[in-house]
Amino acid sequence: MVLRRHIRFAVVLAVGLLAVLGGCGSSETRSVAPTPDNPFLDYSVGRDDAFEVVTWNLHNFATDGGEHEVELVVEAILAMGADVVALQEIKEESRFTALIERLPGWSGYQATSTSYDQDLGYVWVDSSVTVRTIAELRPAIEDAWRPFPRWPLVLEITWQGVDLALINNHFKCCGDGELEPDDPGDEETRRLAASLVLEEHIAAAYPDAAVILLGDLNDRLDDPPAHDVFAPFRSRPDLYRFADQAVAEGPQSGWSYGPGQSHLDHILVNAPLLAALDDPAATCGTLRIDFALAAGDFNALMSDHAPVALVLPGASLPGWSGR
């Protein structure tokens, strides 16, 4: 069903220990099992007892590899075994429809509001995820397009008794790494404005609820405080934490953009999820699925971003029913 408005796994344990694994937990059957010749089989994060979410920028999907790219993305998603995948840069609606049609047992949603066709979307597993609402977040502020060249896409779900709000984003790109507050067109200033609006929205709309903010946020997590576009979140460690902070501070082999050139794809959780993030079984890291293809094929046929995955043990999540 498509709703319209239509490893080697470079993984970071929640305590900050970097490890490289050949998978993460036991793979869960996801309606359609990946075929034995699926090149991405070593990159599974699927577990029956954990919630898994992935963020992935597909780079103008699917203008790079066309029909072959659709097949590769289907194989990658099936191999990952996550409950929800948040996508950025969906270029062609017909390709997204084809993607969902080739994922029996999955549903999807593509926003269609971006004038230059780099839309956000989600795919999720019907058997494990119940969707309560899905909608774009359009803040009632002057010149809202400056912080949000693409409207954040909010997906509220229930997974094994756990209510979660996911906020998918694709922040403004580029810049020189320095905040220029007096220049409203400065790329870093626009990303800071997005962080401010989103933090205020989370605090107001979800004061006690579990929230995961994720996406291609187009900035690093190791900038000095004077130029930190994520300061509204990072200044409140009691309320927010980037699950992939240790990835950003770790070796280039774990970075998502390039892949390995920089780390721009992030997953943030709020206070109700900090206990789950601190669980020794929690993991967050970049799925270097580019390793599964011949040199250069990943960038030529799929994307310039590798997916980033977060695994949260169900037993540490608020309201978990244990199925």
Q: How far apart are CA 78 and CA 292, in angstroms?
A: 14
Q: How far apart are CA 218 and CA 246, in angstroms?
A: 17
Query: Average pLDDT, stretch 111-123?
Result: 87
- Whether residue 200 is contained in a domain is answered as yes
Query: Average pLDDT, stretch 25-36?
Result: 55
pLDDT reported for residue 164: 98
pLDDT reported for residue 78: 96
pLDDT reported for residue 116: 74
pLDDT reported for residue 37: 85
Q: How far apart are CA 110 and CA 120, in angstroms?
A: 6
252 against 20, higher pLDDT: 252
pLDDT reported for residue 316: 98
pLDDT reported for residue 115: 67
Cα R_g (the chain), whole angstroms: 18
pLDDT reported for residue 31: 58
- Whether residue 323 is contained in a domain is answered as no
Q: Which residues of 73-110 are buried (b: 16+ CB within 10 A; e: fewer)?
A: bbbbbbbbbbbbbbbbbbbbbebbbbbbebbeebbbbb
- Whether residue 36 is contained in a domain is answered as no
pLDDT reported for residue 90: 96
Total domain count, the chain = 1
pTM: 0.90
Cα–Cα distances (Å) from 259 to 82, 252, 265, 300, 306, in that order, read 20, 9, 11, 13, 6
- Chain segment 51-76, per-residue pLDDT in tens: 999 999 999 999 877 889 999 999 99
- Whether residue 32 is contained in a domain is answered as no
Asked if residue 150 has pLDDT above 80, the reply is: yes
pLDDT reported for residue 12: 34
Of 258, 248, 264, the closest CA to residue 303 belongs to 258
pLDDT reported for residue 29: 39
Asked if residue 166 has pLDDT above 90, the reply is: yes
CATH of the domain at 270: 3.60.10.10
Q: Provide the mean pLDDT of the chain.
A: 89
- Chain segment 191-240, per-residue pLDDT in tens: 999 999 999 999 999 999 999 999 999 999 999 999 999 999 999 999 99
- Whether residue 33 is contained in a domain is answered as no
Q: Under the phi-then-psi rule, with left for phi > 0, alpha for psi from -120 to 50, and beta for the rest, what region is 50?
A: beta
Residue % of the chain over a pLDDT of 90: 80
- Chain segment 172-181, per-residue pLDDT in tens: 999 989 989 8
Q: How far apart are CA 302 and CA 62, in angstroms?
A: 8
Cβ(314)–Cβ(50) below 8 Å: yes
25 against 98, higher pLDDT: 98
Q: How far apart are CA 115 and CA 7, in angstroms?
A: 37
- Whether residue 205 is contained in a domain is answered as yes
pLDDT reported for residue 19: 29
How large is the greatest C-alpha to C-alpha distance in the chain, in angstroms? Answer: 56
Residue % of the chain over a pLDDT of 70: 89
What is the extent of the structural domain holding 263? Answer: 2-27+41-316
Q: How far apart are CA 32 and CA 275, in angstroms?
A: 32
Asked if residue 160 has pLDDT above 80, the reply is: yes
Query: Average pLDDT, stretch 18-38?
Result: 50
- Whether residue 321 is contained in a domain is answered as no
- Three-class HEC string of 77-132: HHHHCCCEEEEEEECCHHHHHHHHHCCCCEEEEECCCCCCCCEEEEEEECCCCEEE
Q: What confidence category does residue 22 fall into, taking pLDDT thresholds of 50, 70 and 90?
A: very low
Asked if residue 8 has pLDDT above 50, the reply is: no
Q: How far apart are CA 15 and CA 201, in angstroms?
A: 28
Half-sphere exposure of 173 (CA within 13 A, CB side): 9
Q: How far apart are CA 58 and CA 4, in angstroms?
A: 19
- Whether residue 35 is contained in a domain is answered as no
